[in-house]
Amino acid sequence: MVWVLPAMLLVGNLWRQEGDAGRDRLARVKVLIAGGAGFIGSTVTSACIDAGIEPVVLDNLVTGRVEFTAGRAFYEGDIADGALIDRVFAEHPDIDAVVHAAALIVVPESVAEPLRYYRENVSKSVEFIDHVVRNGCTRYLFSSSASIYRPGDDFAVDEHSAIEPLSPYARTKAVMEWVLEDTAAATGLRAISLRYFNPIGADPKMRTGLQIAKPSHVLGKLITALENDEVFSVTGIDWPTRDGSGIRDFIHVWDLAQAHVQALRHFDEVLPEGGERSYDVINLGTGNGTTVRELLDAFQAVADKPLRVEETGPRPGDTVGSYTRSTRARELLHWAPEFSTEDGIRHSLEWSALRPTVLS
């Protein structure tokens, strides 16, 4: 603890540097990634490694995969396990920041099992934040979700849009944002909630991707339909969008991961230590609204194969969706997405073919 504070101040200054010298020194920066064996957390971990930031992964493998932690500093365990968190910080006293991507994420499951979701995503996260603060770490990036927004008439949202989470899953995210805001106001913690829109794709180097064979989100269902010659269901056709299907902002998971690298690099500019503000929220999306029918068209073009399609009602917890109109990520993080929806579809298909050999 004695040398952690000066080290953090030093690193805080280093993170403001750009160019080769700054990047060389970034090699000394270390980040704890909770949920780093999952889809997004493992991609963030890869992006950090590529950027010269040293990751330490913590994951209880409830949905994550041990294969995604190969060659990486990895602690298997729960975010609520205080003794384990203390051990992680004791063995890595130079951890400068935390990325909190650990959570349960399946919306219909959260409707059926709300208490499990509040326990895993809220109660355990409260414990985790407590352990992080107790260990003197003051930079915190939280994986939040655009599903907490109430979209306006045009479905575009920014960070000032109304918050109206409609599923237990989304509510756990909204609650955690308030927990973080209140904790940051009362302690030395500085926290940024990154509100993700709809991640697609895989690590372009194919180190990681979606771990489950039949994902429940729309692109996963398209791939399942293609690979197994099944019918694809457009779930929800009466939404007030341009074609009646839900609208999403599909962001490539590698772009999302790069935004975390940028958020780590620019953390102290967004929330200076000792500054007036200690909490912020930033949307991470492309800014383009794509309907499910438009995604279906793009998918059939990339896959070069027509699918059999049916139309059904929405699933429990489904919402019309939204896309970001915010420019905060570009301005504050100096970040812009580079991959297209078609790139995301192509990388998802590539990963899906590779997945059985990477994940035994």
Ligand X SMILES: NC(=O)c1ccc[n+]([C@@H]2O[C@H](COP(=O)([O-])OP(=O)(O)OC[C@H]3O[C@@H](n4cnc5c(N)ncnc54)[C@H](O)[C@@H]3O)[C@@H](O)[C@H]2O)c1
Active site residues: 169
- Regarding 156 and contact with ligand X (CB under 6 A), the answer is no
Pick the piece of the chain touching ligand X (CB under 6 A) from 16-24, 159-167, 196-204, 323-331.
196-204
Shortest separation between residue 35's beta carbon and ligand X, angstroms: 3
- Regarding 59 and contact with ligand X (CB under 6 A), the answer is yes
**Which of the 8 DSSP states describes residue 66?**
G
CA–CA gap between residue 45 and residue 31 (Å, rounded): 9
Pick the piece of the chain touching ligand X (CB under 6 A) from 21-29, 53-61, 263-271, 316-324.
53-61
Question: Exactly one of 55, 199, 209, 337 binds ligand X (CB under 6 A); which one?
Answer: 199
Shortest separation between residue 154's beta carbon and ligand X, angstroms: 21
Q: Which of 99, 106, 185, 197 is nearest to 145 (CA)?
A: 197
- Regarding 78 and contact with ligand X (CB under 6 A), the answer is yes
Q: Phi and psi at residue 302, in whole multiples of 5°?
A: -65, -45
307, 225 contact by CB (below 8 A): yes
Shortest separation between residue 51's beta carbon and ligand X, angstroms: 19
Question: Exactly one of 15, 89, 140, 196 binds ligand X (CB under 6 A); which one?
Answer: 196
- Regarding 41 and contact with ligand X (CB under 6 A), the answer is yes
CA–CA gap between residue 40 and residue 84 (Å, rounded): 22
User: Residue 4 or 133: which CB sits closer to ligand X?
Assistant: 133
Measured in whole angstroms, how far is the alpha carbon of residue 27 from the centre of its chain? Answer: 23
Give the ranges where the chain is alpha helix by DSSP (H): 4-14, 19-26, 39-51, 82-91, 107-112, 114-117, 124-134, 168-186, 218-228, 253-265, 267-270, 292-303, 328-333, 341-358
- Regarding 40 and contact with ligand X (CB under 6 A), the answer is yes
Shortest separation between residue 85's beta carbon and ligand X, angstroms: 10
User: Residue 203 or 268: which CB sits closer to ligand X?
Assistant: 203
CA–CA gap between residue 183 and residue 137 (Å, rounded): 13
Question: Exactly one of 30, 72, 124, 293 binds ligand X (CB under 6 A); which one?
Answer: 124
145, 195 contact by CB (below 8 A): yes
- Regarding 295 and contact with ligand X (CB under 6 A), the answer is no
Q: Which of 241, 120, 237 is nearest to 169 (CA)?
A: 120
Query: Which residues contact ligand X (rule: CB under 6 A)?
Result: 35, 37-41, 59-64, 78-79, 101-105, 120, 124, 143, 145, 196, 198-199
